[in-house]
Every structure is written in C-alpha cells, then in structure tokens.
Structure 1
Amino acid sequence: MEPIVNTNMLLPMAITLFVLGVAISMFKVLREYERGVIFFLGRFQKVKGPGLIIVIPVIQQMVRVDLRTVVMDVPSQDVISRDNVSVRVNAVIYFRVIDAQKAIINVENFLQATSQLAQTTLRSVLGQHELDEMLANREMLNNDIQAILDARTDGWGIKVSNVEIKHIDLNETMIRAIARQAEAERTRRAKVIHASGEMEASQKLVEAANKLTTEPNAIMLRYLQTLTEIAGEKNSTILFPMPMALMDSLFKEVKQQSKDKN
C-alpha cells in the first residue's frame, strides 16, 4: 500500500521551515575588525557591529567593511624629474578605513580608487623634484605624498598612515654619470682637505719660527737634533745644509783671530 500523505500537514511544515530559515538568516556575526553598513529599502540606515547583529531579509541589506590596515603596493611608475631624468619608482602605502559609511557610499570601490590616486600622486609629486632630491630626501617625499593622499581620501573615510618609496630604478647611463660625479666630489674633498692641512701646517711653522727667533741658540739645538736623528738611521753618507748663521759666526771668529794676530 502507498503511504497516505496528509496535504494539510505539509503547508504548516513548509511555513515553519521558511520562518525558521528566515529567522536564522537574520542573525549576522561581525568580527572585531569588521563593520556592517545597513541599508533599509536602499537607503542608508546605520553602521552596526562588531558582534551579533540582526538584519531583516529583503528589506535590509548589509555590506561588510574591513577596518584593518591595508598594505598596498603601488606599481612601478615612469617619472620624469624636474631636471629631465627618466626614472622608475615603486612605493607602498599603508591605509585603513575609519568611516565605513563614507567608504561604501561616497566611492564605488575604495581600494581601486586609492590605488589609482596613489599612482597619480606619486608621479605628480616626484615630477616636481630633481633626481638628487629623490635620492637624498626620501623621507621628505614620503611625507609630502602621505599628506596629499590623506587629504584627498578623507572624503572616502580612509586614513593614509604612511607612504614609503621602496626603490628608484635608474638606467645604466645615469648610474655611470652618478658614479663619475661621486668620484669627482671625493677628489674635490681630498684636495680641500689637503689644502687645509697645508694651511694649518704653514701657520704652525710660522709660530714655531717666531718662537725660535726669540732665542738664537734654539735653532742650533734644533739643527743638532735633526743631525742626531739622521745619524741614528745608520746611513753611510749624510748630506746636510750649513746654516748661514753658523757660517757668519765662524767668519766673525776667523776675522777676530786675524785682527788679534795683526
């Protein structure tokens, strides 16, 4: 015998299951870093979360928003510096959503919008600086780009916390030119240091000469000390100049002896 199905029981059971399914789907759980933007019949109602929330099916819709910091890599951009040097620059930006309502309502896709804005801002800011400034003042450039991005994304409910230029790629010709420039700079510094040393040495020699002239026997003692140092090196032949002062004293002594004999 075929089982007899009571049609009067099916309708209440179906309604019960439908109501139970709707009741279960009403409950949503949002994590600590998530918020739910609630729309009531297409109009914004409120931002809910975190924790357990109730969303009425059909008449309410929820859009989840992640509030954690997003690390986004900015693709390499071709930049022409103010001194007409072509470089490729890569950067990374750190940002997060601080206003879920603005991030969903004011912009279609805040991730894509932030990425495109970061690329154009990177080219615009770096194009206003020379190559030497790009290589030497990265911290200043990072702060400038971060300030511009933060101001422009404020209407999207996004906070740009940091921007870092990762690397600047140069062509081989420019790398060789920079190497020659660095070599020339080091040569210039060496010459300046050598000239400064010569100036200081000359000043010290003048001071030493002034002190030696105050005592006539001091120059003779210094001369004898120099001869002693030379003799200590065990040289077979020693050539040394004869001081004119010593020659004058010898000539005076010879003339005095000649006069005494006469």
Structure 2
Amino acid sequence: MGALGTLLAVFIFLAAFGLKLDREYQRGVIFRLGRINGVRGPGVYWILPFIDQKAQLDIRTKTVNIEPQETVTADSVTIRVNAVLYYRILSPDKAINKVENYELAVYQAALTTLRNVVGQNNLDDVLQSRDKINTKVQEIVDEITEPWGIVIERVEMKDVEIPTSMQRAMAKEAEALREKRARLIKASAEQEASIKLAEASQLIVENPVALELRRLQMLTEIGAENNTTTIVMLPSDFLTLAKRLSESIQVDQPKSHQHEDGKG
C-alpha cells in the first residue's frame, strides 16, 4: 500500500502540474522536446510535465507609440513626426518562432518605415495627406510582419513639428492667400456692380419716364414710413416732365368744353 500510495500521489502531482489554463485572449504555444507541438487555448488543457513547455502569448490588439524622430521631406524640410501603430498576433507559433522579440521587431519596422515614407513626400503632402501616408506605412509594415504571424491593423500619425522659421513663412503665405482671395472677391463684386450700373444706365436712356416714376414712388414710401412732411428738391427733368404733362391736360380741357358747348 505504501508504494501504491506513493505512485498515486506522484500521478496526481504530475496530472495537476500538467494542467494549464489560458484566458479567452491568451494562447499557449507548446514545445515538446524542443519542437513546436501546437497551439493550445483558450480554456483548460493538459501537457506532459517536464517534457512539454508552454509559451503564453496575448493575442489582443497592442499599441506601439513611435517616438518623435527627425526626418527630411522630399522638398528638403527637416521635421519631427511621431505616430501610433496598432497590431495583433494572428499566428502565435510564428510570432514566437520566426522572430526573437516580435514587439521590438514591430517597433523597429514601424520606426524606419515611417521615416522613409515621410521622406518621400513634400511637406504639403505630409500636412494635408496624412491618411495616405498612414495607409502606406500600414501596408509596408504589414508586409514586413506577415511572416511573423502579425497583422498591422492601423497606423496614425499624431504630430508633425516643423521649424519655427517655416511656421512663420507658412503664416505669411496663408495671409497673402487670404488677401489675394479678398481682392479677387472685391474685384468681382465691383465688376458685377459696374455691369448692373451699365444695364441701369441703358434702361434710363431707353425709358426716362420709368426713372421719374421710380423717384416718385420712393418719395411716397419715405413719406409713409416717417409719417412726416418731407420737403425735397425735385430734379429739373422731373419738373419739366410734370410741366409738359400739365400743359397737355390744359390744352385738352378747352377742347372738351368747346365740344360740349357745340352740343348745347
């Protein structure tokens, strides 16, 4: 019984020692006598004690903060850029077997790729086309890390620092563009006003009575709005027109009376 009890105790110990547990976001890469025997998890599983070894990996999305680094753009402007990269492990066995330190390898690949891609673009492109640069960096780094069983989910440039002298130059350029735009708008408005004035002048020449009627309407409106007596100096042309209209009416009235007398 003593020997049997000892064997039973050893068996229970080995069985318990071989039990492993991985969470939902964890995977275990099993090495048996130095060779990869498979990937286990999540949940509870058992390995051979002293024969199997387990390397545990987290397959959740990880972030890599790329520190600010100096680079020269295609138009020879020295800038400092930083970014953040998101990646996750697709094949735990490759991540642990194909590269010594996958976290450091991903960081170095992202660092050099960001610097190279930014260096291939002009400053304006770096400032205005960040999405394009982010996508390019993501594609290149993803191609590098694919043999390691790692996928790059997203890359985002965070800050772009440019020299102070360049900032002043850009501010002056922006101010000049705003002034130019304002001048163009003003010139366009003046041109449109000139066209309208020319059209109005042509209308006056063709129909001067319309102008006088419009003036009379304006005077009536002013009197109605202020509700007071308004004294104005009428234009001489309008007075002349009014005089002619009055004379015409006076000439017609005697003719009307004569015609009535003849009937009587």
Aligned to 2:247: none
Distance 2:117 2:107 in 1: 15
Shift in Å at residue 132 of structure 1? 1.2
Aligned to 1:44: 36
| 2:16 paired residue among 9, 20, 24 | 24
1:169-216 CA distance string (max 9 Å, x none)? 122111111111111111111111111111221222222223222202
Distance 2:195 2:91 in 1: 70
Distance 2:189 2:147 in 1: 61
Aligned to 1:92: 84
Structure-2-length-normalised TM-score: 0.78
| 1:128 paired residue among 106, 116, 120 | 120
Amino acid at match of 1:170: I
Aligned to 2:177: 185
Q: Percent of counterpart pairs with the same letter?
A: 42
RMSD (Å), alpha carbons: 3.1
Listed as ranges, the gaps of 5+ residues in structure 1 are 1-7, 231-237, 254-262
Matched, 1:83 2:111: no
Distance 2:185 2:14 in 1: 85
Shift in Å at residue 34 of structure 1? 0.6
Aligned length: 235
| 1:106 paired residue among 88, 98, 104 | 98
Q: Go from structure 1 to structure 2 and tell me whether the alpha carbon gap of 1:80 and 1:229 turns closer, same or farther (over 3 Å shift).
A: farther
Amino acid at match of 1:76: P
Distance 2:167 2:206 in 1: 59
Aligned to 2:50: 58
Name the SS of the counterpart of 1:153 in structure 2.
helix
Q: Go from structure 1 to structure 2 and tell me whether the alpha carbon gap of 1:148 and 1:222 turns closer, same or farther (over 3 Å shift).
A: same
Shift in Å at residue 17 of structure 1? 5.0
Shift in Å at residue 121 of structure 1? 0.6
Distance 1:127 1:196 in 2: 41
Aligned to 2:132: 140
Shift in Å at residue 224 of structure 1? 7.3
Aligned to 1:116: 108
1:187-206 aligned at under 5 Å gives the runs 187-206=179-198
1:137-195 CA distance string (max 9 Å, x none)? 11221112112222221111111111111111122111111111111111111111111
Shift in Å at residue 73 of structure 1? 0.5
- Could you tell which deviates more after superposition, 20-29 or 120-129? 20-29
Listed as ranges, the gaps of 5+ residues in structure 2 are 223-231, 245-264
Distance 1:101 1:206 in 2: 83
1:21-43 CA distance string (max 9 Å, x none)? 32221000000001111112111
Distance 1:208 1:156 in 2: 78
Name the SS of the counterpart of 1:120 in structure 2.
helix
